[in-house]
Chains A and B, each alone.
Chain A
Amino acid sequence: MARVVVDVMPKPEILDPQGKAVTGALGRLGFSGIAVRQGKRFELEVDGEVTPDRLADIERAASTLLANTVIETFDVRVETDVAGTVDEDAPTPLGGTDHPGHDIDHLDEAR
């Protein structure tokens, strides 16, 4: 399994009312000097290997449905190849120092 991420953004010349609203809200919260444009992120879990053919398929899916290329641009990238490396390197839930149970114990002691 692999994850392919498709980012979709409104084209620069297209008005982005959502981004404007977020920009305004940030300003009111004191986060000044920040302009936001809001897009969408799609995470595609893909069975099997992401071959060039598969990726071309996904590009087609993105331009057909995920993005409206009249008003949006999109970017396709392979994020992780889960089948390859992640199994070995992933931290085991109980072994990590940031295991939630650990924190709760610690808090109990502190009380």
Chain B
Amino acid sequence: MAPKIGVVTFPGSLDDQDALRAVRLSGAEALPLWHGSDSLDGVDAVILPGGFSYGDYLRCGAIARFAPVMDEVVRAANAGMPVLGICNGFQILCEAHLLPGALIRNDVRTFVCCDQRLVVESNQTAWTSQFEAGQEIEIVLKNGEGGFVADADTLERLEGDGRVVFRYAGRNPNGSLHDIAGITNERGNVVGLMPHPEHNVDALTGPSLDGRPLFASVLDFLAARV
């Protein structure tokens, strides 16, 4: 039986349908999850999609982080379930303290929308095992508040422990410290990134298919766990 991957829809989520589609294309069963639910409906992995949950009021992800479903996401993540946060999902994971640091307004003070080159720095996570370490890929990037910041100790720890997963290549589009585009937790099951791999899974709608390995990786991870 194909593993079940859930995608949470918050009020203001934009890319939940794209994430569900990316999951289906990968061969997994895609399950929509609702922010107001207190159950993950037996899924094997969770994706928090991009968008502007709760209108980005207060801070991006600050209110979504306390949605009823997040109690279960936090509990499952701490128990080892693969969780992927894309863009707004990354912001929610940081607000929920599942990942360190925070995302602030882009230093260029504009919304950035482009095809962004990235280096995959770590393939030692549940979501990146299908990449080669050091591989260069191109993924859609679109955000207004994508500047990754953390204090010096946290940055040192992230770098030292190999927890920087994706780094911007060519140019830094938003002022992220250390050109960080994505990070993981200590265990490697929770990954957050600002670029949108769910938009790079189909030649018809994306400039590359470089997003596919993320979804293939988690299937591998789940298959190995059984």
Contacts and interface: CB of A to CB of B under 8 A. Distances in A.
Interface of A: 10, 13-15, 17-18, 20-21, 65-66, 68, 70-71
A68 B95 contact: yes
Contacts of B2: none
Contact of B104 (A15, A21, A65, A66): A15
Contact of B109 (A10, A13, A20, A71): A20
A71 B175 CA distance: 15
Contacts of B66: 65
B149 A68 contact: no
Interface in B71-110: 94-95, 100-102, 104-107, 109
Grouping DSSP codes into helix (H, G, I), strand (E, B) and loop, the B interface class, with mixed when no group exceeds half, is loop
Contacts, number: 36
A82 B102 CA distance: 38
Given A15-B147, A17-B107, A21-B109, A70 B175 contact: no
Interface of B: 58-59, 62-63, 66, 94-95, 100-102, 104-107, 109, 147, 149-151, 175
Contacts of B63: 65
A68 B59 contact: yes
B153 to A, nearest CB: 12
Contacts of A17: 104-107, 109
Contacts of B102: 68, 70-71
Contacts of A15: 104, 107, 147, 149, 175
